Structure 1
């Protein structure tokens, strides 16, 4: 039947959706500056099931945002997704965090969408998508410079969307660039993307799947011993 529970925890937005055949049934999310995923995720799961009038045993697959994003957030989401898959005996689907962001802002008014998640200093996590949602450049962690994404903006309208847009705007001054910080990763857009993978049987190995961290985890403020 294709009832899929979608979990998005890659950033500060703790987001859960339930969808049937790609159609959204229920969505619960909360975007706060402080990560609340450990406390909220399972509460939100229970709430979307209740709103939809469904039980956990009726879920056919679990989808999780695979990153890039927050190390801690991704670990929480993937751990929860794996646990549910093992408990229910259902497959695991992974969805690119940046691709689901791109799907929020697809429009005929622009030519390329570049989701940008804020990283350290002048760095962002980014990828480039066309207006059909196809990824046309690999995902990178990159420092923003005047030449960044220039090959796309030279002749085309480009939208940079996400938490990293503010740090890009003062540097990328070409007239073809536009910016929005209103886009945050959400389980809403995962509904269609996870359904597409479900019907194609594109599943992950539950035992060995790991989030796409893109960069190594760095402990802040630690002391050498």
Structure 2
């Protein structure tokens, strides 16, 4: 038995799941226009453990979505995960946010492109094949009508910036899945358990989120 608590705070979705052996037992989440992660994250954790009669001493590891995403959201999630790991003396696992998002898509063929809004026409993106293997590294890209024109395969676009993407990504093989908007801790369960089995742990003292771009204060 391996209980892992998964925290996903990289976007507007504040999401927590409890998993056993890579399968989600319970997931609690809420996405709001105004970020409420600081208020809700620890409440969700406490509620999930209480509702499933699990005490913190039974948790084997904490997994956190490492980014890219919201600077504030990532800081809140990672700070909480590190604090819990340090206090309980358990391992910290970091999971790629875009991989979490991509794992919501189940298709037989084609490419999966999860995207997170980075303002204006810029997005954080990566490319995965139909089996969720990453075939293009995470990057910050500015979308144009030439983006992804080199492929004739079906391309499934997901994430919180689909409406603006549709204005420039107009080829017939481009498919948008509007029901998949935010990464969820539900899809973290399988990914974090794989890392747990392989002892792929982070240094609790020195781990930092993957921001991809430097934080800039907007006045």
Query: Normalising to structure 1: TM-score of the pair?
Result: 0.95
Residues 61-117 of structure 1, C-alpha deviation per residue, up to 9 Å, x if partnerless? Answer: 000000000000000000000000000000000011100110001211x41000011
Supply the RMSD in Å over aligned alpha carbons.
0.9
The runs of at least 4 consecutive aligned structure 1 residues that moved more than 3 Å come to none
CA distance in 2, matches of 1:133, 1:27: 22
CA distance in 1, matches of 2:195, 2:41: 23
Residues 171-200 of structure 1, C-alpha deviation per residue, up to 9 Å, x if partnerless? Answer: 111100011232211000001110010001
Query: Normalising to structure 2: TM-score of the pair?
Result: 0.97
1:57 equivalent in alignment to 2:57? yes
Aligned position for 2:101: 101
Aligned position for 2:83: 83
TM superposition shift of 1:151: 2.2
Gaps of 5+ in 2: none
TM superposition shift of 1:149: 1.5
Q: Say if 1:61 and 1:92, in contact at 8 Å, map to a contact too.
A: yes
TM superposition shift of 1:159: 0.5
Q: Give 1:206's match in structure 2, choosing from 201, 204, 207.
A: 204
Number of matched pairs? 218
Aligned position for 1:115: 114
Q: Say if 1:164 and 1:181, in contact at 8 Å, map to a contact too.
A: no
Gaps of 5+ in 1: none
